[in-house]
Structure 1
């Protein structure tokens, strides 16, 4: 091979190697810059997801519903509303809308000035009686905390919960699981 061709080949190879190193360095830098953002988003997920699941379990009488009293449920709603509104601008509008839809199915809000939201559920269900099967002593004063009229179906609750959780996952930067 001619010496000038060897030099040309070496220069082209060195140029390509330099471009590849530069590109890999910029990708690495971008990953390190995004790491704190991802960590914050995962922290937000860890604050929101358990309360959404708590509401879902209580409403559907699945999982650990027997451990959650009606006052705990109202406190969970307040805590979740606060967290979602604090982080609204770091999360997607899709998540905010899906969360709102889920909460509207689970709670009857704006029930009167100074009144708490009412839980859209029944006290006695085919899956269990909250007065008897729960792991706490039932207080008759909790009955008015429920809004048993115009209840959404279990399917509607399931679908809204899954939509909200999927939107939350996408909102923090995790892709859908196939």
Structure 2
């Protein structure tokens, strides 16, 4: 049986629909500013967080740069000493061990500020240059020969310095050893530069020609005079 909607019921329905639309409009008018405020707050918070992150990164890079300026000269001194370039003749074994201690103290105390690759590269470099964990009370030994060092040291070579080396006076330093030190030195500098994010790190920070300083060309004074191999 079909039921017809009376005019009164139709009017009531229209009034209800109109009221509902008015409520929606009123809610929209109130909600829109609230939504805009919320979105603005979220955007502002994210921008502030980004600014803080950028500021922290910039401050971290400044601190790392300061450590680099402190570490780089000593690292270069070690590289020069173990590859017989630059100022190697001016450094005594005692000086070199002291350099390592200074570097260890500086870098390991600042380790939380650097990427783990920096510490790994430093450990590799120093392990190639020094023999550590010797007898109690003994200093680290230098993984290099001392024939040329004793001959060319500008001051007085002290006999007790011979014990600072891991080999005898007649033992040679090979081109392979020198190239390994050069590669490790390049790796530690590249890691430090990469951590500062200032520029792309280079593939080489030292000439491969250091391998030519191996003891394969060493002569005794008498052989030098005679020109014998």
User: Which one of the candidate residues 185, 190, 213 is aligned to 1:166?
Assistant: 190
Deviation at 1:29, TM superposition (A): 7.8
In structure 2, C-alpha distance between the alignment counterparts of 1:100 and 1:93, rounded to whole Å: 11
Q: RCO greater where, 1 or 2, for CA within 8 Å and sep 6 or more?
A: 1
Task: Render the CA deviation track for 1:37-58: whole Å, top value 9, x for unaligned.
Answer: 2221111001111111111111
User: Which one of the candidate residues 153, 157, 182 is aligned to 1:134?
Assistant: 153
Structure label with greater radius of gyration? 2
Deviation at 1:132, TM superposition (A): 2.3
Is the contact made by 2:124 and 2:184 (CA closer than 8 Å) also made in structure 1? yes
Aligned to 2:121: 98
Task: Render the CA deviation track for 1:68-88: whole Å, top value 9, x for unaligned.
Answer: 111000000101011111011
Structure 1 spans left out of the alignment, 5+ residues:
1-21
Aligned to 1:11: none
In structure 2, C-alpha distance between the alignment counterparts of 1:82 and 1:150, rounded to whole Å: 31
In structure 2, C-alpha distance between the alignment counterparts of 1:93 and 1:32, rounded to whole Å: 22
TM-score (norm 2): 0.59
TM-score (norm 1): 0.75
In structure 1, C-alpha distance between the alignment counterparts of 2:198 and 2:130, rounded to whole Å: 28
Residue 198 of structure 2 aligns to a residue whose secondary structure is coil
Q: How many residues align?
A: 151
Aligned to 2:145: 122
User: Which one of the candidate residues 127, 132, 145 is aligned to 1:109?
Assistant: 132
Please say which of residues 157-166 and 27-36 is displaced more in the overlay: 27-36
In structure 2, C-alpha distance between the alignment counterparts of 1:112 and 1:29, rounded to whole Å: 50
Aligned to 2:84: 61
Aligned to 2:106: 83
Aligned to 1:73: 96
Is the contact made by 1:38 and 1:173 (CA closer than 8 Å) also made in structure 2? yes
